[in-house]
Amino acid sequence: MADKKRHALVTGASRGIGEAIAIDLAKEGHNISVNFNSHQKDADEVVKKIKDLGSDAHVVKGNVSDKESVSKMIEESVNKFGPVEILVNNAGIISDNLLMRMKDEDFDKVINTNLKGTYFCTKACVPSMIKNRWGRIINITSVVGIRGNIGQSNYSASKGAIHSFTYSLAKELATRGITVNAIAPGYIQTATVDVLSDKLKDHIMTWIPMNRFGTPDEISGMAAFMASDKAKYMTGEVVRIDGGMAI
């Protein structure tokens, strides 16, 4: 259990990696704001799982790409559990295509959700962290933000930009008791990967030395560590969890 119960907001927490992170943080005794945008039933189920663990949680709707929606989400979360002390920027989307076929709106919506969403949520939470001289900001990115990928110029750009955002913000906040780190997962068994064809999965597997996809709990454990006091001297790090894919 954590030394102190904190308020953690996890964006995109209704399924997959976000759900696993929310549950692992709840196991540490923290109160969890479970953000969703499209899957309320799933988010409600995550809250139920957290309460069954003995921690408290609530569902909060919010579109991270919309500044006003983020403001309402943060306000609702703060009213429930107080200032956000642990922020996990997990919400993200893909809209893949080769650059020559990519529509401008597909580029924009990925950048707006993944990159600007991280910016909006972080900017809304940082003032109270500075005031309290304690905070944890954890950005969930992707290994393709490091190595790139065919058909994902928009997604890779958004995640690579978050890495630079992480480095810069870590320097800005280092003397304020706030750490800023990122986790760059490889291919993880989530709904996004499940929809891929068997042929594509087999091709992707040739890139992964461990010869398997990861699981959400193999990401969430690192997030729980980054949120803990054990990681208080760790900031500005991008940790790959990818089965060796980006070696």
The answer to whether the CB of 140 falls within 8 A of the CB of 166 is no
Which residue is catalytic, options 155, 167, 187, 233? 155
Catalytic residue status for 155: yes
Which region, left, alpha or beta, applies to residue 169 given φ > 0 means left and ψ of -120 to 50 means alpha? alpha
The residues carrying an active-site annotation are: 155
